[in-house]
Amino acid sequence: MGTFCVGYENSTAIDLYYEDHGVGPPIVMIPGYPFTSSSWEKQISVLLDAGRRVITYDRRGFGKSSHAAKNYSIDVLAADLNELIVMLDLTNLTIIGCSLGSGEALRYMATHGEERISKAVLISSIAPYLLKTETNLEGIDPVFFSTMRQAIKVDRPRFMSQFLDRIFNVDLLIDDRITHEALQSAWNIAAAASAYASLLCIDCLAADFRADLFAITRPVLVIHGEEDRIAPVAAAALRTHRSLHDSKLVMIPGGPHGIIWTHSEIVNREILEFLP
């Protein structure tokens, strides 16, 4: 629907693709890894029908946005989000982030301020810090992330297939909560991403958001699947909820990481009830 420029790589502009639909209080939706704005299809129509202005975009390296070869830190991704919000001069904004998008939302609010934000929704959050360290013993073994990086380098399309199985708990939910066709569509989107972005964004999944959480004062809705195999509940949602000043935690029984698709009816209901 449109693009906006967030910088340059040599002689080429880095343009991000976005869509802006509807009228009413604005919502910006940030997709998870390795997806694009199209991953929100089960939420967009519901929010438009509820009288909201819905803005989605593809992060750099994914979908219809420029496939830059560098600059994929969480700070850069949050700065890209800020460019979109400032360009559209959005206020009284609800920001919704899924997975990696939750981290971008948090870093944006903590770094660029909450003046434009009314509320936030974190779905399948990767906060506060998924990487296990000496000061973060509740995190995930670093081998998990190093294995992902190596698998991407060796055979990125195959990695995406295996990663999507983990995102959607395919062994349990195929033909129940997700079809083979939907899974194939998700793979097509993931495989079409920049090889550089696919690799470098793994560091963003392992970023430290502990200080960001404590800086947030706006009301936050945290929605998480109890069977999340990417961001386990104990490492992510429970700690995120405890770290925020004002938050509501919704746990979805049997929910995987990809709950915006598999359990969209619950996610949508909770978002609508939480919106200002």
All residue ranges of the chain with pLDDT < 70 are none
Catalytic: 99? yes
Position 175 scores a pLDDT of 96
Catalytic: 124? no
Catalytic: 263? no
Q: Tens digit of pLDDT for each residue in 115-163? A: 999 999 999 999 999 999 999 999 999 999 999 999 999 999 999 999 9
Q: Report angle CA 171, 207, 139 to the nearest 5 degrees.
A: 60
Number of other CB atoms surrounding residue 130 within 10 Å: 25
State which residues form the domain around 244: 2-274
Sign of the CA dihedral running 95, 96, 97, 103: positive
Position 11 scores a pLDDT of 95
- CATH code of the domain covering residue 42: 3.40.50.1820
Catalytic one among 228, 241, 247, 263?
228
Position 9 scores a pLDDT of 95
- Domains held by the chain: number: 1
Number of other CB atoms surrounding residue 48 within 10 Å: 16
Position 1 scores a pLDDT of 75
Catalytic one among 224, 241, 257, 263?
257
Position 90 scores a pLDDT of 98
Number of other CB atoms surrounding residue 11 within 10 Å: 5
Catalytic one among 37, 39, 65, 99?
99
